[in-house]
Amino acid sequence: MRTLAIALTALVFSAPFGAQAQELRQSARFDVEIRGLTVGRLSFTGVENGTSYAVSGTMQSTGLAGMLRKMRYDANVRGTVSDRGFAPQRYEQTGGAGKGYSEETVVWQAGLPRIERQEPAKPPRPTDPDPAQQRGTVDTLTALYATLRDVAPGQECKSSVIMYDGRYRMQLRIAAAKPVEGGVACSGEYIRLAGFTPEEMAERTRFPFTLRYVPTEGRMRVTEVAMDSLYGSARLVRK
């Protein structure tokens, strides 16, 4: 589940906001399927209030995959939101797979990320991207929320972002929405940019996916994400 663990690294956060703006709160849960088998669950809760946002969530293995190798990540992020998109300020993550466990905190100042805490510390590698060159990036949780949250009609498929998680630089590139029966859909790619080993880059750098939206209570909601992974066809299915 390496590709899914990186792209879906999981997501519990609550923060007080002022009362001057209307609060928008939403939650979602997706089953993660690979080759038709449910192997995990992704859930998140997001709150937007004026120019602020906060998101929390969890990604964990379930079913047979959970019996063979347990995996769970919990994370939270807060930041600002504007017409230009989401800008994280503080991201915290805990969890691991198998017997491994880690904790990490990344803060953004003027759009530039800095690793504030990392336990256990990751030794530097020649492939590590320069943190000083990561201005304007977002964390993986912000990227997931920006991509999977409910949006107003006409705002679908507008969440292309560059991600940085302290070691890897990645991109979610999404094309314009197109009408389909019952809603709209768009195609996209998850792209490895930097931080990966030469072997990983030679293995594959681009992973296509498709988002499908349907109208729900005056909003457009992602109900399915179909993707190509190293382990075959995969899907996120909303529950």
Confidence of residue 50 (pLDDT cuts 50, 70, 90): confident
Confidence of residue 66 (pLDDT cuts 50, 70, 90): low
Cβ atoms of 7 and 190 within 8 Å: the answer is yes
Indicate the burial class of 164 (C-beta count within 10 angstroms; 0-12, 13-18, 19 or more).
buried
What six digits make up the tokens of 19? Answer: 């009362």
CA dist 28 to 43, 179, 185, Å? Answer: 6, 23, 19
pLDDT, average across residues 32-53 = 94
Helix (H, G, I), strand (E, B) or coil at 233: strand
Res 68 pLDDT > 80: no
- As a whole number of angstroms, the distance between CA 230 and CA 147 comes to 21
Res 64 pLDDT > 80: no
Q: So what's the pLDDT on residue 98?
A: 87
Q: What is the end-to-end Cα distance of the chain in Å, rounded?
A: 21
Q: So what's the pLDDT on residue 44?
A: 97
Res 65 pLDDT > 80: no
Q: How far is CA 112 from the centre of its chain?
A: 19
pLDDT, average across residues 121-132 = 91
pLDDT, average across residues 138-148 = 96
pLDDT, average across residues 5-10 = 40
- As a whole number of angstroms, the distance between CA 75 and CA 81 comes to 19
- As a whole number of angstroms, the distance between CA 148 and CA 159 comes to 9
Res 9 pLDDT > 60: no
* DSSP H or E run through 155: none
Cβ atoms of 146 and 13 within 8 Å: the answer is no
Res 188 pLDDT > 50: yes
Contacts of 120 (CB under 8 A, 6+ apart): 102
User: What total number of domains does the chain contain?
Assistant: 1
Q: Which residue has the tokens 């990392």?
A: 118
Mean pLDDT of the chain: 88
The domain containing residue 208 runs over which residues?
2-238
Res 17 pLDDT > 50: no
Res 8 pLDDT > 90: no
Question: pTM here?
Answer: 0.87
Res 15 pLDDT > 70: no
Res 198 pLDDT > 90: yes
Beta strands 52-61 and 71-82, pairing class: antiparallel
Res 43 pLDDT > 90: yes
pLDDT, average across residues 7-15 = 34
**Nearest Cα residue to 64 out of 88, 87, 35:** 35
